[in-house]
Structure 1
Amino acid sequence: MDMSTINWWAVLVAAVSCFAVGGIWYAPAVFGKAWMRENKLTDADVQGGNMAKIFGLAFLCGLIASVNLAFFMNDPSIGVQEGAMYGFLTGFGWVGTFVGMHYLYEQKSFTLWLINAGYSTVALTLMGVILGAWK
């Protein structure tokens, strides 16, 4: 794989977008309260974690996902539409289905799957758009 054709600025911006979408998606006004309810978490539980560690590792995970998606999309003919399609298929077709399998065995709710798989699908679709648009 020719890594010289990867736009590393696009990879970084896509990773930031993943983090930003998560901040919006899991905000209390959007899906945060439902996510907490489905996970049986209280405000104290959520605020009691090491936020620097959580945010830092979450950003690192988004960066790894962005690099991975950039490798799959490393073709100059891939534009915005293909990027959106690849991001969506990655989010729903891979992440969403595997999370779904875990949730079935863990007996987690369909609502929680919709929230988490929905986030992955939206975040990866946007990442694909950014990577496809910014060659």
Structure 2
Amino acid sequence: MEMNWIAIFVSALVTLIVGFIWYNPKVFGSIWMKETGLTQEELRKGNMLKIFGLTYIFSIFIVTVEMALTIHQNGAVGMIGGPMKINEALPSFQAFMKDYGTAYRTFKHGALHGFISGLFFAFPIIAINGLFERKSWKYIFIHAGYWLLTLTIIGSLICGWL
């Protein structure tokens, strides 16, 4: 099973695209700024190239983990020693991959796993940090909602884009 690098790099853009919309002042941006105590002027002072560049790199990390969670065939490939060992695998592995190599490789299945990742992984992390930082539930839900949506889209793209 080969990695779809185009799907990985495009899926990593989702964090930025959804963020531009989600944190826009006309959506949740004004509430988010109020809850963080930031102003437009303070936000403009940041090094945007550094922020967006690192966000994209970190997003590639997230996409690769999401790929492992949504594409179940990765487990089968791992059992034979990884992609480098596919040509050495027993005929039973080849038969399995022929029968099930694209099973559950749909946008819908990926979206489900992305949503589950957001709900049971991202949300608790954000909530724990928010609680210790004494942030409001508005703040927690704004960030959690962003990650729920973002991970759902990433899961959908990375799993369904064969």
TM-score using structure 2 length? 0.77
Equivalent of residue 46 in structure 2, options 46, 49, 61: 49
Q: State the shift of 1:6 in Å.
A: 2.3
Q: Where does 1:78-89 land on structure 2 (aligned, <5 Å)?
A: 78=104, 79-89=106-116
Deviation at 1:80, TM superposition (A): 1.6
Question: What corresponds to 2:61 in structure 1?
Answer: 64
Number of residues of Structure 1 aligned to a counterpart in Structure 2: 132
Contact 1:6/1:71 (<8 A) preserved: no
The answer to whether the 8 Å contact 1:99/1:113 transfers is yes
Kindly provide the amino acid, as one letter, of the partner of residue 103 in structure 1. G
Mark the structure with the bigger radius of gyration: 2
Q: Which runs of 5+ in 2 are unaligned?
A: 74-101
- Residue type of the alignment partner of 1:97: P
User: Normalising to structure 1: TM-score of the pair?
Assistant: 0.92
CA distance in 1, matches of 2:103, 2:2: 12
Aligned to 2:3: 6
Q: Distance in 1 between matches of 2:70 and 2:151?
A: 12
Return structure 1 stretches of 4+ with deviation > 3 angstroms. Answer: none
User: Which structure ranks higher in relative contact order (CA pairs < 8 Å, sequence separation ≥ 6)?
Assistant: 1
- Residue 20 of structure 1 aligns to a residue whose secondary structure is helix
Letter in 1 for 2:59: G
2:118 paired residue number: 91
Q: CA deviation at 1:40?
A: 0.3
What percentage of residue pairs aligned between the two structures are identical? 33
| Distance in structure 2 (CA, Å) of the matches to 1:86 and 1:102 | 23
Aligned to 2:137: 110
Check if 1:77 corresponds to 2:103: yes
Secondary structure, aligned partner of 2:34: helix
For structure 1, which runs of at least 5 residues remain unmatched after alignment? none
Contact residue 88 and residue 124 of structure 1 kept, 8 A = yes
Does 1:130 find its partner at 2:131?
A: no
